[in-house]
A and B are shown apart, each in its own frame.
Chain A
Amino acid sequence: MPSSQTPPAGSTALDPTAVRPAIDDARIIRTTPQAVRDELLALKRDGYAMLSDIGGVDYLEREPRFDVVYHLLKFALNGAQAARVRVLCGVPGADPVVPTVSDVWPSADWAEREIYDLFGVSFSGHPDLRRIQLPVEWEGHPLRKDYPLRGPARDRTPRPSFALKSNVAAGTPASGKTAAALQRQIAAARGQTLPPDPAPHAAEKAQAGNTPGAVATAGAATPQELGAEPNAARGRQLPKDGSK
């Protein structure tokens, strides 16, 4: 069941990459699982020595549903200009299989395993295709768009009864318990009694009234304006004669 935080699938543009603005960050090649291996090998012969990354994207409603994205890098060697190329391989959702390139670039090993783990796209010919991030017994592929944000396992996790929302007494404030209320609660649990909670600032006013400099602590005037000691208004114990 999709979480409330999952954006509704209806709001998706079917293929955002097709309407992309002109961003000059890489050359972009689109291809299919049948042709991707030849395409990548041709690029490697062309000088793109490093397979920098393989990523996956799930477009859910588009056909082909997935994109497996290969980022290749050419170094500035032998007078060549450094360059990037991005190969977008559209993979159908019904049969998500792509030929592996882990024999060409060993760096593809873990990247392909991760896409298999998180998207459920498998790579034919991969020597060791098993889950890499999630445990073996995990069900589903979390980065697919139809996988709920919090995961199905969360709903099944047993919780103690006091932690269930339905067991919290009605009228309990969500938060904002004062320290005094907490102390009374603790005292009650220990069988002690505490004096009732005084009105806010009552103690301060009583204390301030005893000190000579702060007689007029009322309204919005600050103690400094009234010439009082800064401590007086906070109710600290001062000598009776008001001296420091």
Chain B
Amino acid sequence: MSVDSPIPAAAPGPPPSMSMDVVERDHNRMVLSIGPQHPSTHGVLQVLTEIDGEVITRAEPEIGYLHTGIEKSAENLFWTQASTVIERMDYLSPLSNALCYILGVEKLLGVTDLVPERAQQVRVLLCELSRIASHCVWLGTGGIDLGALSGFFYAFDLRERILDLNELSGGARMHPNYLRIGGLRDDLPAGFLDRLDALIAMYKPRMNELRNLLQSNPILQDRMIDVGIISADDAIAWGLTGPCLRASGVAYDVRKTFPYSGYENYDFDVVTRTEGDAYARFLVRLDEMDQSMRIIEQVRKNLVGGPIMADDTKFTPPPKETIAVSMEALIHHFKYVSESFRVPPGDVYSAVEGPRGELGYYIVSNGDNRPWRVRTRPPSMYNLQILKQIAVGELIADMVVMIGSLDPVFGEVDR
């Protein structure tokens, strides 16, 4: 080529840091980055995989793309305000997060017994509803990962109706901030129970449709059976909880083992399977939704009347109607809003069974009106971690099946 050729020299490629880091070839081995912008990672997960042909030889999930510093924020908010940001962690079941935190604060205050019966029942009711809603998201998006698009609409329609109930009770669909230290913000509104009855009536036929669509689908079974097998010993060693642990044959459920909020009064089964593969986790979650509905029906049948807030204005706001007529109530209200209340020093570990497993809060108080430390035990993070073991030896195409079957929520993994 002559010096004055009009054809320019080849443009330089992207700098090495952009291309060579992510994909490099070494004979048959290749490093491939899946995510963080990938629809099947259910959020912002990056999995660095080493593949030999189509078989995964190493996998390392990289998290932190959604880190929002919620634990740091919670340390700088009042005890009452912190539950607002804490709800944002697991955004598919905000009520479980709020309940777990609030139970911990109530333990620190020593007022667990003051929470009225009705408030406890409504807490259980809403948490079980949000478990179903959360599993609906897993079921719908998990089906899409495998190409089953129609199940998504049936599952999300069911979830929409639960979110409608959330909106009715708490005023917001996703983050109602309805649970309060000492009880609930308001009583259930008029019309809530009718809508709940309608939901209970439509649940069984809808789940039958979903099961017909997905559970017995031979393509889905082909993709899920014997994929991502976790033995019971591995599940315990890696700290798995929730459906992932129960699908490996360990019958551990916080609601049964360490009951809270009156779960000992309800009749339900802990669903377990022994296969430990993606299909077992799929079936455990489906059966769990039915068990949740059993609990909801029992709560609906036995719902008592009465107050929804503990009767102690040292840690609850005084009833609104007393503020205009009582000087003490006005002072309490002012103090409650402007500087919250103080919690006796100490530390506590509070755990509930969230949709993804044991959700725990380790809360430390130094006697101030803000928590000193709020540490979350995020079930998704521990469930997701095992991916680096179960992915080895599987096909690259099954990666989305395994991620979907572990059901991580990245608001909670990264916090």
Contact = CB atoms under 8 A, between A and B. Distances in A.
Interface of A: 3, 5-7, 11-13, 16-17, 19-21, 23, 25-26, 49-53, 55-58, 69, 71, 75-76, 82, 84, 86, 105-107, 109-110, 131-135, 142-143, 149
5 nearest A-B residue pairs (beta carbon): A107-B239, A20-B346, A55-B375, A16-B345, A53-B377
Contacts of A3: 76
B408 interface: no
A55 B381 CA distance: 13
B362 A17 contact: no
Given A25-B107, A133-B67, A143-B71, A6 B346 contact: no
Contact of B375 (A7, A20, A26, A56): A56
B360 interface: yes
Given A25-B349, A107-B385, A142-B69, A53 B362 contact: yes
B239 A133 contact: no
Contacts of A50: 236-237, 239
Interface string B93-111: 0000000000000011010
A7 B236 contact: no
Contact of A71 (B236, B366, B377): B377
B198 to A, nearest CB: 33
Contact of B360 (A5, A6, A52): A52
Contacts of A26: 349
Given A20-B347, A50-B239, A133-B414, A149 B375 contact: no
A106 B373 contact: no
Given A25-B107, A51-B239, A7 B389 contact: no
Interface of A is mostly: loop
Contacts of A132: 63-64
B72 A82 contact: no
Given A7-B370, A75-B236, 8 more contacts: A12-B366, A16-B347, A25-B350, A50-B236, A52-B358, A53-B360, A110-B382, A142-B72
Contacts of B373: 55, 57-58
B355 to A, nearest CB: 18
A105 B239 contact: yes
Contacts of B386: 106
Classify the secondary structure of B's interface with A.
Answer: mixed
B345 A13 contact: yes
A195 B367 CA distance: 61
B377 A149 contact: no
B216 interface: no
10 contacts: A16-B365, A21-B108, A25-B348, A53-B239, A53-B362, A84-B349, A107-B382, A131-B64, A132-B64, A142-B69
Interface string B319-352: 0000000000000000000000000111111100
Interface of B: 63-64, 67, 69, 71-73, 76, 107-108, 110, 236-239, 241, 250, 252, 257-258, 344-350, 358, 360, 362, 364-368, 370, 372-373, 375, 377, 381-382, 385-386, 389, 414-415
A16 B364 contact: yes
A155 to B, nearest CB: 16
A75 B239 contact: no
A134 B347 contact: no
B239 A82 contact: no
Contacts of A49: 236-237
Nearest to A28: B347
Contacts of B358: 52
Contacts of B252: 75, 82
A242 to B, nearest CB: 38
B102 to A, nearest CB: 15
Contact of B368 (A7, A107, A135): A7
Contacts of A57: 364, 372-373, 375
Contacts of A131: 64
A2 to B, nearest CB: 10
A106 B238 contact: yes
B107 A23 contact: yes
B366 to A, nearest CB: 4
A31 B64 CA distance: 31
Contacts of B108: 21, 23
B360 A71 contact: yes
Given A7-B76, A71-B349, A142-B69, A16 B367 contact: yes
B330 to A, nearest CB: 27
Contacts of A55: 362, 373, 375, 377
A21 B372 contact: no
A16 B64 contact: no
A21 B385 contact: no
Nearest to B112: A23
B239 A69 contact: no
Contacts of B362: 53, 55, 69, 71
B257 A107 contact: no
A149 B72 contact: yes
A114 to B, nearest CB: 8
Nearest to B77: A5
Contacts of B67: 133-134
Contacts of B366: 11-13, 16
Nearest to B62: A132
B237 A106 contact: yes
Contacts of B107: 23, 25
A143 B237 CA distance: 27
